[in-house]
Amino acid sequence: MIKRVAAAVVGLGVLGGGGFLAYAWYPSIAPITPPQPSSFSPDKIRRGALVAAAGYCSECHTRQDLGGGPDLAGDYKMETPFGDLFSSNITPDPETGIGTWSEEAFRRAMWKGVDREGTQLYPAFPFDHFTQMTAEDISDLYAFIMTRPAVHLKPRDNTIPFPINIRLIGQGAWKLLYFTPGRYKPNPQKDAEWNRGAYLAEGASHCSSCHTPRDFMGAEKQSAKYDGAVIDGWIAPPLNAHNPTPTAWTEDELFAYLRNGVAPLHGPAGGPMSPVPHTFLSQLPASDVHAIAHYFADLDHAAERQSGDAAAVTTAMQRSGTDLVGPTVDPDAKLYQGACGACHYNSGKGPVLGRPELALNNALWLDEPNNLFMVMLHGLTAEEGQSHVAMPSFYTALDDHDMARIAAYLRRTRTNRPAWKDLEKKAAEARATLKTPPVNASR
């Protein structure tokens, strides 16, 4: 009897394994001669450029360490819990890029996460979002990429260990657990602008890739979608009703932030978010950026929250002025005044665009101080945040103890949130992520 049961279990395992291999295995698609740029119409290439901007393609497919690299030639280093990944060269070079890929092969990679040769792609390439894109958008993107300069550059080898590096098994299993292929389906309960915003945000722009926490397998936690996550030491804040800022992310605020890199009440974009408005979304039609803003304003429940904005701004202005009224006996306030108060000071009815009001900024309202420490250490160049307005890095001017004092002071005087814990330790951890002082560090 036991032998019969064991044989049955083995048989089922073989059948199951055969079924899994049938699911995970893909054939190669025949290579082609790289298409001539003249085979694509100028309008198609122009539309493809907009798709590439919406998808931030060059951000992850262009090397940023080792002095940088050619556009779209790959070798961008991604540090993951499983090892280091290096992005693919997606220029039309026939040897090290995708010059021999047909549009069919390109579309399969975008929709199914499988390359031309049939190899499963790691989900660091967000095919789980790109699968929602239309065939027309992918065709236009293909035209744009195939008309870029071909660059002969072989990316560095990944350092993913065995057995995860056996892609047929590791990535096939990941897809079986987490991947649902298919195009975006409009929500009939929402208007056309909302659906356009959702299509862009959930598809090409893959916003939840950064703004959603991930599980131990590296998959987005759908039960916590847009609840925020840590990216390169920064917190990508919640984009839903869990966002703790005292003023709502209205459509107008979001449009200004996504289009220009700064919003009147919420301040400038910093860290990994800086290129999104300045390099990419600023290229899109205003109507598309409005659509994305419309979508996320709804997720933020901005219409319901907006009624409290006026009171929040009044309170912030009152708190902002207290540091500079008369002599203070609070040594932490003196430290803040000397290091920060000259710029981060507002008065009147609302904040000045070039002087972000910290009492309204999400860096002070988040559960952890990451973003406050990171912006203090990194600063903002004139190309980040608000154009032509810079903030120096305090990497060398403030030590971890001073940074912790300023953070504790701001948290207790500018918000009604619980005090942050272990601030000096967290300041040191933030400093360690930068490794070397930024070029704009103050002395």
**Annotated binding site for heme c: which residue ranges?**
57, 60-61, 207, 210-211, 340, 343-344
* CB hemisphere CA count around 52 (13 angstroms): 26
Q: Which residues are annotated as a binding site?
A: 57, 60-61, 207, 210-211, 340, 343-344
Task: Name the helix (H) or strand (E) containing 262.
Answer: strand 262-263
Handedness of CA 391, 392, 397, 399 (dihedral sign): positive
Closest CA to 363 of 292, 428, 269: 269
Cα–Cα dist 268/296, whole Å: 17
Task: Name the helix (H) or strand (E) containing 288.
Answer: helix 286-299
Other CB atoms within 10 A of residue 79 CB: 10
Whether residue 280 contacts residue 394, with contact meaning beta carbons closer than 8 Å, is answered with: no
Other CB atoms within 10 A of residue 433 CB: 14
Other CB atoms within 10 A of residue 238 CB: 24
Closest CA to 143 of 88, 93, 106: 106
Closest CA to 286 of 239, 254, 238: 254
DSSP assignment of 385-401 equals SSTT--B-B-TTTS-HH
How far, in Å, are 76, 101, 127, 140, 149 from residue 61 at the CA level? 6, 17, 14, 18, 14
Helices H / strands E in the chain, number of each: 19, 6
Task: List residues bridging with 220 in a β-sheet.
Answer: 214
Is the preceding omega at residue 155 within 30 degrees of 0, hence cis? no
Rounded (10°) angle between helices 42-55 and 135-146 = 100
**3-class secondary-structure state, position 12:** helix
How far, in Å, are 36, 52, 253, 267 from residue 283 at the CA level? 26, 10, 18, 21
Cα–Cα dist 375/392, whole Å: 9
Cα–Cα dist 315/356, whole Å: 15
